[in-house]
Amino acid sequence: MNNKDLVVERLLHATIDRVWKAISKPEELRHWFFNLKEFKPEVGFQFSFTAGHKEQVQYTHITEVIPLKRLSYSWRYEGYPGISTVIIELLERNERLYCG
């Protein structure tokens, strides 16, 4: 298996505060992620949800939180080897939000 990083970068027309709320508040996450029963942007917080072709359970836990700057969490599919890490980093560039 080849373990390469996948990097997705976006330039958004939104404030850092607005995007931080979208990635850290359960009521906002439901609009674009999954309908999580509970979510807290705290290191060590664990959550799970079902999704995918066979409604597999995905297990995640928060690994890093720097409010308004960075949110990281691990991601693991039940029955599959390996753990992925998702890192969302927010940077302001020329009065626009750069999300990578």
User: Which band of pLDDT confidence, cut at 50, 70 and 90, is reported for residue 70?
Assistant: very high
Average pLDDT of span 44-50: 80
Provide the pLDDT confidence category of residue 100 given band limits of 50, 70 and 90: low
The per-residue pLDDT for range 1-11, each reduced to its tens digit, is 457 788 888 88
- Sheet architecture: strand order including 56-66: 10-12, 96-99, 84-93, 70-77, 56-66, 46-51
Instruction: Report the topology of domain 21-94.
Output: Alpha-D-Glucose-1,6-Bisphosphate; Chain A, domain 4 (3.30.530)
User: Which pLDDT does position 2 carry in this prediction?
Assistant: 59
Task: Record the pTM.
Answer: 0.77
